[in-house]
Structures are given as structure tokens and as C-alpha cells.
Amino acid sequence: MSPRTLTDHELWNAILQGGHSAFSILFDRYWASVYTTVYSYVKDETISKEITHDIFLNIWLKREQLQILSFSAYLRAAGRYHVYKYIKQAKAIPVTYSDALEESADLVCRNQGDENLGYLELKHNIDEHLRELPKRCREVFILSRQQHLTNDQIAGKLGISKRTVENQLTHALHHLRVMLKNISIGIFMWLLFVWMR
């Protein structure tokens, strides 16, 4: 059997034994997807390549301490973590002194990188949990919150009663609140508000 046909789990076991060739195979298998994920956040080729290489280097160096059950899931999480770390470091901007306090009084300092990353992660989490809903329930939620149709319009489009639409929306929102209980309700409601704009 060719080493390239081995599963991620088999390759990871070989890596734990110090298998360089197994690591090379996993590197080749996942480098592009990790790079694409990182690039979607930072929009810079050089930085994205550096972060991607750092992720794989850390895996090799810390392989004996890591417990990876799903390599693809681990890499997605590692990609988000390294992007977050990069954005936090990048926001350390040198401060210059100015006598003109009144000129800067109206300026608002916001970290849009953190906000965008947080929004993307929240939206990704919600999209993942929406996939767990029954098809009709998910369809009603998407028509309501993403396509901005009224309950009457949804009922007409799907050939169901307005009461059924309301029940499906209630079920979807309850499901998301339960699944995302670690996210503050304020952020959750903010995200739903953004979707509804």
C-alpha cells in the first residue's frame, strides 16, 4: 500500500513515531486548505504562508504533546488561533504624542480585525449548527433571517401555514441558543441583527 493512501489517523501515528515522510504527506495533503483559510482572514500572501508554515512547524515540534483525533478539525482550529494571535500582535501600533487633544477627541479606536474575525467565527459556528436542523426548519430560518422574507411570504413560498413558519423559527432559534450557550446572548442577538439588515 502506498503511504499516500494511508488515512490521516495512520499517518499521525507514524508521525508520533518520528516519521518524516508521513508528516510530509499530511503537509502536502492539507497545506493548501490551511493557507486558503488563513488568507481568507488576513488577505496577505506572505503573512498567510508564514502563518501556515508556523502551524505545521508547531505540529511537528509539539507532536508528542498533541492529541489529535481529527487532523482536518485540528488544522481549522489552529488556523483560526494563529490568525487571532497575528491580529492581536499586529494591533500593537506605536503611539505618538500630540498636544492637539481636541483634534483627536472625536477619533474612535476600533480593532476591525478582531471584530471581523469574531464575526466570521460566530457565523461559521451558526452555519455549522444550522446544518443540524431538519431541512424544513433550516429552510424557514434562512428565508427569514438571510433572505429577509416575512412569515406570510415564507408560508406562501413553501406552501405551509404562517403558524408552522412561526413554530419552525422558534425551534431554530431555540436550537441555536442551546448550541451556542457559550456565546453571550448579546453577541448572538447582534449577529442575528446583522443578518437581518
pLDDT of residue 141: 85
Show the cell assigned to 184.
453571550
pLDDT-derived band at 58, boundaries 50, 70, 90: confident
Domain boundaries, the chain: 3-90, 129-196
Identify the pLDDT of residue 29.
92
Cell numbers for 48: 498567510
At residue 127 the predicted structure's pLDDT band, cuts being 50, 70 and 90, is confident
Torsion of CA 40, 42, 43, 48, to 10 degrees: -90
Give the pLDDT of residue 156: 92
Q: Into which CATH architecture does domain 129-196 fall? A: Orthogonal Bundle (1.10)
Q: Tens digit of pLDDT for each residue in 68-107?
A: 888 888 888 888 888 888 888 777 555 555 454 444 444 4
Please state, in angstroms and as integers, the Cα–Cα distance from residue 145 to each residue in 36, 44, 148, 178, following that order.
28, 32, 5, 18
Give the mean pLDDT of the chain: 77
Q: Report the C-alpha gap between 38 and 47 in whole angstroms.
A: 9
Please say if the pLDDT value at position 2 is more than 80. Answer: no
Tell me, yes or no, if the pTM score tops 0.85.
no
Q: What is the pLDDT of residue 101?
A: 46
Res 111 pLDDT > 70 = no
C-alpha cell of 94?
506605536
pLDDT at 19 over 80: yes
Quick one: CATH architecture of 3-90?
Orthogonal Bundle (1.10)
**pLDDT range class, residue 124, cuts 50, 70, 90:** low
pLDDT, average across residues 25-41: 90
Tell me which residue has cell 508547531.
58
Question: Tell me, what's the pLDDT at 72?
Answer: 85
- Distance from C-alpha of 28 to C-alpha of 143, rounded to nearest angstrom: 40
